[in-house]
């Protein structure tokens, strides 16, 4: 059986992981997380495509691309756009590929403006608060998804 294609989309400031507020986001870089995902993906039969952009429209385009590429699932850490972007909400609703919302931190334990998630309104589910492990947990959940789950 061929590998399940999983898109991993990362929004603004996540290119700064490792240097950015390590007490909140940890010391691993996005490259480290990509390597962890690729390794776990090999075990689970998933091939990972990882993107990061600081621009909202790129994330919209990659959600559409995930559909066109026949992706099995998308892991989306939209960073601060999570809390502001109706364009991302609409983009998730414009595709049938399941999207799993991912966060390193747990936004619900933080400032009030992080308690709203437009992404979460359309996502299949959310994994937050486990640092870099959130991505691995989300990958496990993504691979386990079936068309009727």
Residues that are catalytic? 25, 103
**Where along the sequence are the contacts to ligand DQA (CB under 6 A)?**
13, 77, 79-80, 82, 103-105, 107, 114
**Residue 58, marked binder:** no
Residue 127 structure tokens: 């994994």
For ligand DQA, which is the closer residue by CB, 114 or 124? 114
Would you mind telling me the total number of residues written for the chain in this entry? 149
- Is 104 annotated as contributing to ligand binding? yes
Known binding residue 108? Answer is no
Measured CA to CA in angstroms, residue 7 lies from 4, 69, 94, 96, 116 at distances of 10, 10, 16, 14, 24
Give the nearest distance from C-beta 146 to ligand DQA in angstroms.
27
Q: CB within 8 A of 132, min separation 6: which ones? A: 26, 28, 32, 33, 36, 104
List the helix and strand counts (H, then E) for the chain: 6, 5
Helix, coil or strand: residue 29:
coil
Which residue, 4 or 77, is less far from ligand DQA as judged by CB? 77
Is 90 annotated to bind a ligand? Reply is yes
Q: Closest CB to ligand DQA among 4 and 103?
A: 103
CB of 95 to ligand DQA, least distance (A): 20
Task: Work out how close the CB of 47 gets to ligand DQA at its nearest, in angstroms, rounded to a whole number.
Answer: 23
* Integer Cα distance of 132 and 149 in angstroms: 25
Binding-site annotation: residue ranges: 77, 83, 90, 104-105, 114
Annotation: binding site for substrate: 77, 83, 90, 104-105, 114
């Amino acid at each position: 059986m061929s590998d399940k294609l999983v898109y991993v989309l990362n929004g603004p400031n996540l290119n700064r992981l490792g240097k950015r507020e390590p007490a909140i986001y940890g010391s691993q870089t996005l490259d480290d997380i990509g390597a962890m995902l690729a390794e776990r993906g090999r075990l689970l039969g998933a091939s990972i495509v990882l993107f990061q952009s600081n621009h909202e429209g790129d994330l919209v385009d990659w959600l559409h691309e995930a559909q066109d590429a026949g992706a099995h699932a998308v892991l989306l850490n939209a960073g601060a756009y999570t809390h502001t972007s109706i364009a991302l909400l609409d983009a998730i609703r414009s595709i049938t590929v399941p999207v799993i919302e991912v966060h390193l931190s747990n936004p619900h334990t933080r400032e009030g403006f992080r308690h709203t998630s437009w992404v979460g309104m359309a996502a299949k589910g959310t994994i937050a608060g486990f640092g870099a492990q959130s991505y691995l947990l989300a990958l496990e959940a993504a691979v386990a998804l079936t068309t009727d789950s």
